[in-house]
């Protein structure tokens, strides 16, 4: 247990320089790109230069860049992400309203990726070099190669426009959104807590298309990895020994082969989650999903420096936290790994 805590402290300590570098790079890039945030906030209105200068002073843009950076980092150390230029509200408050939406979408997307990728990869390995294997391998390659934005648009056209089975975007319909009082802001969880299964189904319907868009693409890579690991393990001596003992094939596949094949997949789970968060930028835009990624895109269009910086820092914290959790789980699952 002591080694576990030492490992966690060491990982958190190594994350701090990485976040500082990220904050510095993002801060400098935002300051050198063309355009004036004050004019962007004014929406191109014809105002005097004096008024624009007053707005710049209010936003702190009239200070030297080193002073702006020191003020921003000092605010982060106090838990202050700054104030949004666009909404004039604390960035951290804006992010906390949207973090549950992104996490809920990421959770369902990753669940679909794991379920679909692992199951199809295992089937492909069990039925190796058959038509089932060839078909599933084509699916894995196609799922990983298809552009995310194209898949999202096709899902909307087919399932929302033509068939009318599922909604196009947002987390709830307008009526439910007006009457819904969230508890955790994870809408499916809140619906279950309230015991409102109609609301749960409504929230789930809005999640299906964006979660499938994220999950299917990740399932392609996970499926190929699972198949490769399963083929290697099925040829191991302990699997052959289990079969020679007369154990049922299903027991050999799931107890001995699949369980051990999943261990290496945990290694790339954190990386896959990072890719999934990156894909959420496009997915939340396509489906008008009110999460952190869509907030980031809106802030970029408005040249809202504090919101852009805050959203990127929040996404970085997501990714490093998930990587840490995956590393801990990996060491617990595989006794050969030491902290």
Q: Is residue 91 part of a domain?
A: no
**Short-list 158, 182, 19, 197, CA closest to 97:** 182
Q: Is residue 90 part of a domain?
A: no
> Structure tokens of 137?
């391998």
CA–CA separation, 216 and 198 (whole Å): 27
Across 22-26, 75-79, 335-339, least confident range = 335-339
* Domain end point (choices 77, 112, 129): 77
Q: Is residue 48 part of a domain?
A: yes
Q: Is residue 310 part of a domain?
A: yes
Beta bridge mates, 90: 83
Q: Is residue 87 part of a domain?
A: no
- 248-271 pLDDT, tens digit per residue, is 767 777 766 777 777 777 777 766
Residues 171 and 251 in one domain: yes
Q: Is residue 214 part of a domain?
A: yes
- 120-147 pLDDT, tens digit per residue, is 888 888 888 889 888 988 998 888 888 8
Residues 308 and 192 in one domain: yes
Using DSSP, state whether 59 is helix, strand or coil. Answer: helix
* Total structural domains within the chain: 2
């Amino acid at each position: 247990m002591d080694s576990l805590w030492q490992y966690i402290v060491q990982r958190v300590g190594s994350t701090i320089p990485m976040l500082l570098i990220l904050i510095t790079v993002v801060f400098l890039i935002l300051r050198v790109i063309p355009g004036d945030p004050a004019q962007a906030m004014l929406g191109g209105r014809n105002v005097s230069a004096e008024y624009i200068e007053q707005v710049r002073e209010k936003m702190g843009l009239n200070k030297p860049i080193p002073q702006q950076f020191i003020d921003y980092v000092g605010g982060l150390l106090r838990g202050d992400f700054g104030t949004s230029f666009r909404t004039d509200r604390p960035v951290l408050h804006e992010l906390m309203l949207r973090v549950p939406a992104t996490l809920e979408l990421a959770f369902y997307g990753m669940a679909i990726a794991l379920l679909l990728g692992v199951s199809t990869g295992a089937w492909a390995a069990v039925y190796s070099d058959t038509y089932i294997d060839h078909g599933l391998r084509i699916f894995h390659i196609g799922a990983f190669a298809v552009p995310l934005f194209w898949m999202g648009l096709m899902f909307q056209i087919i399932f929302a426009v033509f068939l009318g089975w599922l909604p196009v975007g947002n987390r709830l319909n307008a009526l439910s959104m007006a009457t819904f009082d969230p508890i955790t802001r994870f809408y499916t969880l809140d619906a279950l807590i309230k015991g409102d299964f109609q609301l749960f189904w409504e929230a789930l319907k809005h999640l299906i298309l964006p979660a499938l868009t994220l999950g299917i693409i990740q399932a392609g890579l996970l499926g190929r990895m699972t198949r490769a690991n399963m083929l290697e393990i099925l040829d191991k001596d302990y699997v052959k020994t289990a079969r020679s003992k007369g154990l049922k094939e299903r027991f050999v596949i799931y107890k001995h082969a699949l369980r051990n094949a999943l261990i290496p997949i945990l290694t790339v789970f954190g990386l896959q989650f990072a890719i999934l968060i990156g894909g959420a930028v496009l997915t939340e835009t396509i489906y008008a999903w009110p999460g952190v990624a869509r907030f980031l895109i809106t802030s970029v269009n408005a040249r809202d420096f504090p919101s852009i910086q805050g959203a990127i820092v929040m996404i970085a914290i997501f990714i490093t936290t998930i990587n840490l959790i995956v590393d801990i789980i990996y060491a617990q699952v595989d006794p050969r790994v030491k902290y």
